[in-house]
């Protein structure tokens, strides 16, 4: 039997950052609570690496950068830290930072059955509070499906769904690519476990 890891009940942001730096696995931090990150599947990893590969040359021309999986995003006056699958920033301070991104333009999550409801619900609620965030992208790991939430006026967010044969558009960074590029070499088995 494998022992379940024990996390402190509550931590300050400073305690979390010191503790997290010593951990083997990644943990997100939300208002004092520690959230263990689960490992991704091979399709999950292929999808975010395909997305990153498509984005990289496009972003380089615009003075922006994309980071994958191991880069923390600090939000809400440092009381929340997340590890999105991909975070894109064009902010000069972020591009010089060695610890975390504070002003993301786009955040991308690859959905798995165990995280999909959290990514669509609570996590999106937290992400919407990031003033610099223009688009939030959810990529399904089980079927060829991408959802883009785009910030509008006030608290309004527009929703765009993309499927097979369509081109995904990220307006904030003037990026467009065929959805098939994200799923290159990915075996999609709808209904199977991630």
Tell me the whole-structure pTM to 2 decimals.
Answer: 0.88
CA-wise closest residue to 69 among 103, 13, 110: 110
Q: pLDDT band for 121, please (50, 70, 90 cuts).
A: very high
For the chain, give the secondary structure using H, E and C: CCCCCCCCCCCCHHHHHHHHCCCCCCEEEECCEEEECCCCCHHHHHHHHHHHHHHHHHHHHHCCEEEECCCEEEECCCCEEECCCEEEECCHHHHHCCCEECCCCEEEEEECCCCHHHHHCHHHHHHHCCCCCCEEEEEECCCCEEEEEEECCCCCEEEEEEECCCEEEEHHHCEEEEHHHHCCCCCCCCCCCC
Which percentage of the chain shows pLDDT scores above 70?
91
Residue 131 falls within a domain, yes or no? Answer: yes
Residue 83 has pLDDT above 80, yes or no: yes
End-to-end CA distance of the chain: 22
Residue 101 falls within a domain, yes or no? Answer: yes
Residue 151 falls within a domain, yes or no? Answer: yes
Residue 189 falls within a domain, yes or no? Answer: no
Which CATH number fits the domain that encloses residue 90?
3.90.1570.10
Q: pLDDT band for 73, please (50, 70, 90 cuts).
A: very high
Residue 190 falls within a domain, yes or no? Answer: no
Residue 8 falls within a domain, yes or no? Answer: no
Residue 41 main-chain phi, psi, to 5 deg: -85, 170
State the total domains in the chain: 1
Q: Which residues pair with 137 in a beta bridge?
A: 108, 148
Residue 124 falls within a domain, yes or no? Answer: yes
b/e for 153-186, b at 16 or more Cβ within 10 A?
Answer: eeeeeeebebeeeeebebebbebebebeebbeeb
Domain encompassing residue 172 = 40-182
Residue 27 falls within a domain, yes or no? Answer: no
The tens digit of pLDDT for each residue in 144-170 reads 999 999 999 988 999 999 999 999 999
Residue 18 or residue 168, greater confidence: 168
Q: What is the mean pLDDT of the chain?
A: 88
């Amino acid at each position: 039997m494998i022992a379940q890891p024990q996390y402190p009940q509550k931590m300050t942001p400073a305690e979390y950052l010191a503790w997290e730096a010593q951990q083997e696995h990644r943990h997100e931090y939300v208002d004092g609570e520690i959230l263990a990150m689960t490992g991704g599947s091979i399709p999950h990893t292929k999808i975010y690496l395909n997305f990153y590969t498509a984005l990289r040359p496009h972003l380089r021309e615009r003075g922006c950068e994309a980071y994958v999986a191991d880069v923390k995003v600090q939000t809400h006056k440092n009381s929340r830290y997340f590890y999105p699958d991909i975070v894109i920033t064009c902010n000069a301070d972020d591009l010089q930072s060695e610890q975390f991104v504070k002003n993301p333009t786009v955040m991308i999550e690859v959905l798995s059955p165990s995280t999909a409801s959290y990514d669509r619900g609570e996590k999106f609620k937290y992400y919407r509070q990031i003033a610099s965030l223009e688009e939030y992208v959810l990529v399904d790991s089980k079927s060829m499906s991408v959802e883009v939430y785009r910030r509008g006026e006030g608290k309004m967010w527009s929703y765009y769904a993309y499927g097979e044969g369509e081109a995904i558009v990220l307006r904030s960074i003037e990026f467009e690519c065929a959805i098939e590029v994200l799923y290159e070499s990915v075996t999609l088995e709808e209904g199977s476990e991630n």
